[in-house]
Amino acid sequence: MRRLIRSWRARVAVEGHSMEPTLRDGDWLLVDPHAYRHASPRAGDLVVAADPRQPGRLIVKRVERIEADGLLALAGDHPAHSEAAGLPAVAASALRGRPWFRYWPMRRFGRIARDRRGVE
């Protein structure tokens, strides 16, 4: 219940298409801001993070891999929006939480898989 309340407070609207088919433009998500308080991010995790290029802006991406220096390389799911070279790696402290539930639109209401790429 507490998780639901804090996730509700940290809810976000998705804007953009780079996370399709997992997330679509206009999806509304519950984001658990404590997801990485006691656990480390894993490669494949869906995450909301502070944009490394623009302070105050949030991005939703997937952890593509964890670099040797501990930084996280993030990428989108959409094959045509590949960003391997596009987004600077971020520190784990840049993570703002893990989206785990889509509450809008109603027809796709439900839990979001943590780490199965492209599978809902």
Residues making contact with another protein (CB under 8 A): 10-19, 23, 25, 28-29, 31, 48, 51-53, 57-61, 67-69, 71, 73, 76, 81, 83-91, 93, 99, 103-104
Single out the residue of 119, 17, 33, 18 nearest to residue 75, CA to CA: 18
If the CB atoms of residues 35 and 48 are measured against another protein, the closer one turns out to be: 48
CB of 37 to another protein, least distance (A): 19
- The conformational region for residue 17 under phi > 0 = left, psi -120 to 50 = alpha, else beta, is alpha
CB of 25 to another protein, least distance (A): 7
- Whether 103 contacts 109, CB under 8 Å: yes
If the CB atoms of residues 71 and 113 are measured against another protein, the closer one turns out to be: 71
Single out the residue of 2, 18, 4, 9 nearest to residue 100, CA to CA: 4
If the CB atoms of residues 25 and 39 are measured against another protein, the closer one turns out to be: 25
- Whether 100 contacts 41, CB under 8 Å: no
CB of 69 to another protein, least distance (A): 5
